């Protein structure tokens, strides 16, 4: 259980009015968190019925208004729209005169740094990029999850302390990301989190096909331990048939996947190759076993047969 405590609003007198442009899963959660820190949400915009319901549930009594009116009412504006929509939104708000001098303009895109806010900067706004490294559900549980959550922070140097202070007020941990590193930073998070969801969902589907009635119950302890081991030990935590060089087992996996879930074959082969490379580089996979394993993977990628050359009699090894 987190021991984080929200700051006493009386300890921080510079309270701000807060607006949200884009009531997706992220914006209302951040605004609700800022409200707990003593700031005051005053306006929110949303287009879809789902976003409007979300705003009403997480920010009750906060009026739903058009984006330009959000900027008119708020001193701190959260731009929480999809990455691809952000540049056009910022340019449009600046061109129409909606941006006010001295207004804090915060976007939550992982991909972009502060430069995407340059049109607003030229209009006098104070640009901040604050990206929470968290997955959001669109429910009040998101506010709790912000406690201890890392935020990727990018801002002009003179605004760095203000950006980090806002993150701390939301219960987060600021992590400075240089402007030029934002795409790589975001790619790393997508690789680790978004692709994890795909892998887990595929694993559950395969277990159901194999007759497992509760794949979530089976995977939960295993994945929890694997994640903990990986975070603690990195590549040293690698286990399984690829890291051991069990070419025959890997070939059997590919055969079964082609039969029952052909859509999962390419992903399996790609991850197996990446795992083999890392295991080799860290001395976990013996070079004499790697040759047969890599041959199986190459043969399988070409659509070749079972690729069972080099079978080591370990197909049934449960490790």
Q: How many residues does the chain have?
A: 319
Q: What is the pTM of this model?
A: 0.84
Specify burial of residue 111 (Cβ count, 10 A radius: 0-12, 13-18, 19+).
middle
Reduce the DSSP state of residue 212 to 3 states and report it: coil
Torsion of CA 234, 240, 241, 243, to 10 degrees: 20
Q: Identify the band that residue 201 occupies on the pLDDT scale cut at 50, 70 and 90.
A: very high
pLDDT > 70? residue 6: no
Spatial distance between the Cα atoms of 302 and 225, rounded to a whole number of angstroms: 34
- Per-residue pLDDT tens over the stretch 35-68: 999 999 999 999 889 988 999 999 999 999 999 9
Distance of CA 255 to the CA centre of its chain: 33
Residue 175 parent element (H or E): strand 173-176
Closest CA to 275 of 258, 295, 256, 290: 290
Tokens 């009531």, located at residue = 23
Question: How confident is the prediction for the chain on average, in pLDDT?
Answer: 91
Backbone angles phi, psi at 68, to 5 degrees: -60, -35
Q: 64 and 94 in contact (C-beta within 8 Å)?
A: no
Mean local confidence (pLDDT), 164-193: 97
Residue 24 region by backbone torsions, left for phi larger than 0, else alpha for psi between -120 and 50, else beta: beta
**Higher pLDDT pick, 47 / 317:** 47
Q: Identify the band that residue 228 occupies on the pLDDT scale cut at 50, 70 and 90.
A: very high
Would you tell me the crossing angle of helices 27-36 and 160-169 to the nearest 10 degrees?
A: 80
Distance of CA 259 to the CA centre of its chain: 32
Q: Which of 124-133, 262-271, 307-316 has the lowest mean pLDDT?
A: 307-316
Q: Identify the band that residue 8 occupies on the pLDDT scale cut at 50, 70 and 90.
A: very low
């Amino acid at each position: 259980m987190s021991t984080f405590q929200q700051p006493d609003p009386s300890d921080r007198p510079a309270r701000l009015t807060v607006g949200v442009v884009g009531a997706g899963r992220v914006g209302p959660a951040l605004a609700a968190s800022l409200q707990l820190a003593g700031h005051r949400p005053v306006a929110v915009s949303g287009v879809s019925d789902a976003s409007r319901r979300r705003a009403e549930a997480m920010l009750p009594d906060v009026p739903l208004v058009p984006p330009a009116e959000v900027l008119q009412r708020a001193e701190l504006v959260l731009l929480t729209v999809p990455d691809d929509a952000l540049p056009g939104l910022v340019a449009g708000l600046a061109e129409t005169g909606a941006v006010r001098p001295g207004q804090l303009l915060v976007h939550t895109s992982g991909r972009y740094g502060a430069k995407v806010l340059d049109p607003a900067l030229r209009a006098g706004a104070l640009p901040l990029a604050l990206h929470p490294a968290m997955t959001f559900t669109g429910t009040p549980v998101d506010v709790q999850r912000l406690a201890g959550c890392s935020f990727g922070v990018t801002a002009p140097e003179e605004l760095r302390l203000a950006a980090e202070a806002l993150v701390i007020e939301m219960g987060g941990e600021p992590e400075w990301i240089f402007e030029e590193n934002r795409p790589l930073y975001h790619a790393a998070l997508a690789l680790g989190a978004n692709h994890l969801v795909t892998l887990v969902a595929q694993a559950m589907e395969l277990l159901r096909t194999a007759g497992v009635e509760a794949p979530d119950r089976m995977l939960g302890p295993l994945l929890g331990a694997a994640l903990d081991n990986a975070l603690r030990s990195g590549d040293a935590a690698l286990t399984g048939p690829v890291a051991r060089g069990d070419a025959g087992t890997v070939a059997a996996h590919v055969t079964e996947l082609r039969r029952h879930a052909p859509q999962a074959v390419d992903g399996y082969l790609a991850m197996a190759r990446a795992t083999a490379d890392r295991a080799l580089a860290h001395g976990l996979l013996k070079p004499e076993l790697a040759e047969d394993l890599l041959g199986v993977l190459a043969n399988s990628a070409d659509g070749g047969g079972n690729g069972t050359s080099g079978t080591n009699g370990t197909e049934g090894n449960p490790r």
